[in-house]
Amino acid sequence: MFSTHHTDIGLLYLITSLAFMFMGGALALVLRLELFAPGTQVIADAMTYNRIFTVHGTTLIFLFILPSASAFGNYLVPIMVRYKDMAYPKLNAIAFWMIPPAGALIWLGFADFTWYAYPTYSVISAPGPAADMWIFGLKILGVSSLLGAINFVVTILKCKHPDLPLSKMPLLAWSYLASSLIIIVAIPTFAAALLMLLTDRLGVSGFFNPAMGGDPIAYQHLFWFTFHPEVYVLVIPAIGFMYEIFPRFSRKPIFSHSSGVFAFVLLMLVGFASWAHHMYATGMSFTEKTVFMVGTLAAVPASAMHVFNFLATMWGGRIKFATPIMWAVGGIALFFSAGAGGVVNSAMPLDFITHDSYWVVGHFHLFVMGTILFGTVGFIYYMFPYITGRMYNEMWGKVHFILSFVGTVMVFFTQHLLGLYGMPRRIYDYPPFPEWVQMNIIISIGAFIIGISMAIFLGNLIYSSAKGKPADMDDPFGLGGKYYFPYQAKTPHTENGGYH
């Protein structure tokens, strides 16, 4: 348990992040139960509701998505760059062991100021000590992901085997290089903002408090300067997972390795040009809005290149539709939908219709759930035989996918519509407008379909890891032959991760 070996730490990350995924998801179900109909359903008061959605968001972003990406990064990056371990094994273990105490702070505090923690609410109005515990928890998580990112960058750039040029490095390893560089540039800004938020709360400074000469909008700039690029930190490893899944299950090489690398690097750079598109409604000038609209649109071609690469890889391949590639295909369908919705948000006049409505909730959930969770879950199924030596149950894997896909479409597409009908996000109760009520019922039913599918997932994971059929370690998915030219080895475990 206190091992410093990279696969052990990867496994710790994976188990922890999955535990938090089920916990955060359970909170979402409570929220959906409350919103099933107008009036009080299961949550007695508004403040409890506000605390639940805050912890739901914080948990799934910082305690599920980020650690689950680190899990597979730890597992595979050293193998892919042909090194014996991560560059700093002890640092790696420390970065992991910061997560449980941070998670405990967030869950024991149960703050209410949303995962943005916008001042002046968070400074003058949010009740402590929950808010302060949240700030400390996030501080620890920030340091943890910085340490992890530095470790990945050093492992890839300094410990890479000299025979392996960077241009030939697998795209999954490239995704970790790109996302880690974003973390190193972006996170310190939020770390500073958190510290200022804390001293503001203590009353010794007034950085964000207009009563003391501060500016609450400054916090929003600092926050989004970190967290818009962070969106790419979350999504890039998921795209990397898909780059692993598609060629193997299509029995074809990746259509274009170089365009994948180019798109990662492009995304990494333009990701920093769009942060204030979250803030059109804060009273920005026309020029500011234009600049950030252009910066936002500039991120689209890179994402579109990934989608093209996936489809072109599958084109003409002998595809075996096992569970992992089903999740990946579902993921790109939802990634495309999310991106199309994002273009609508970024267009200035339309943003004033969608801003802070359920449209936005639907939009970003298509990314975090539809793309990132789908890619991650597909990759969990893909890695399952290599990690446990046993096969998961294929039929239940497919049932899990179909239920999740149907549920996701029901929930998040309907939320887009609900936003167009004007329902604000983060509300505990709503007036009984007939359209709002109908759509909320559809969304809640969809959410429970996802809930059922995730219960199946949990059962499949536990049962199969203990009693599943032993996997054929040379070719667990029955793909046969040397199907993934130019990669020589058969599995990511043997011979340098299957790359040369």
Q: Which of the stretches 63-71, 341-349, 396-404, 445-453 binds other proteins when contact is defined by CB under 8 A?
A: 341-349
Please say whether the beta carbons of 498 and 487 come within 8 A.
yes
At a CB cut-off of 8 Å and minimum separation 6, what does 182 contact? 229, 230, 232, 233, 236, 268, 271
Q: Which of residues 16-45 bind other proteins (CB under 8 A)?
A: none
Q: Which of the stretches 57-65, 194-202, 354-362, 368-376 binds other proteins when contact is defined by CB under 8 A?
A: 354-362
Contact pick of 15, 42, 353, 462 for other proteins (by CB under 8 A): 353
Distance between CA atoms of 210 and 187, rounded to whole angstroms? Answer: 25
Contact pick of 162, 283, 434, 478 for other proteins (by CB under 8 A): 283
Considering the rule CB under 8 A, would residue 286 count as an interface residue with other proteins?
A: yes
Contact pick of 343, 458, 462, 473 for other proteins (by CB under 8 A): 343
Q: Which of the stretches 121-129, 375-383, 386-394, 395-403 binds other proteins when contact is defined by CB under 8 A?
A: 121-129
Biggest CA–CA distance in the chain, Å, is: 70
Contact pick of 282, 432, 435, 480 for other proteins (by CB under 8 A): 282
Please say whether the beta carbons of 265 and 400 come within 8 A.
no
Q: Which of the stretches 11-19, 63-71, 329-337, 351-359 binds other proteins when contact is defined by CB under 8 A?
A: 351-359
At a CB cut-off of 8 Å and minimum separation 6, what does 211 contact? 124
Which C-beta is closer to other proteins: that of 78 or that of 247? Answer: 247
Q: Which of the stretches 25-33, 302-310, 408-416, 444-452 binds other proteins when contact is defined by CB under 8 A?
A: 302-310
Distance between CA atoms of 363 and 355, rounded to whole angstroms? Answer: 11
Q: Which of the stretches 170-178, 231-239, 410-418, 425-433 binds other proteins when contact is defined by CB under 8 A?
A: 425-433
DSSP state of 212: G
Which C-beta is closer to other proteins: that of 390 or that of 425? Answer: 425
**In one letter, which amino acid is 386?**
Y
Considering the rule CB under 8 A, would residue 47 count as an interface residue with other proteins?
A: yes
Contact pick of 3, 290, 438, 488 for other proteins (by CB under 8 A): 290
Burial 162-176 (b: 16+ CB within 10 A, else e): eebeeeebbbbbbbb
Residue 97 beta carbon to other proteins: minimum distance, rounded to whole angstroms: 33
Please say whether the beta carbons of 241 and 378 come within 8 A.
yes
Residue 144 beta carbon to other proteins: minimum distance, rounded to whole angstroms: 27
Q: What are phi and psi of 335, to 5 degrees?
A: -60, -45
- What six digits make up the tokens of 200? 């503001």
At a CB cut-off of 8 Å and minimum separation 6, what does 407 contact? 446, 447, 448, 449, 450, 453
Site residues for other proteins per CB under 8 A: 46-47, 50, 112-114, 116, 118-121, 124-126, 210-211, 215-217, 253-259, 281-283, 286, 289-290, 293-294, 297, 300-301, 304-305, 308, 312, 343, 346-350, 352-353, 355-357, 421-422, 424-431, 486
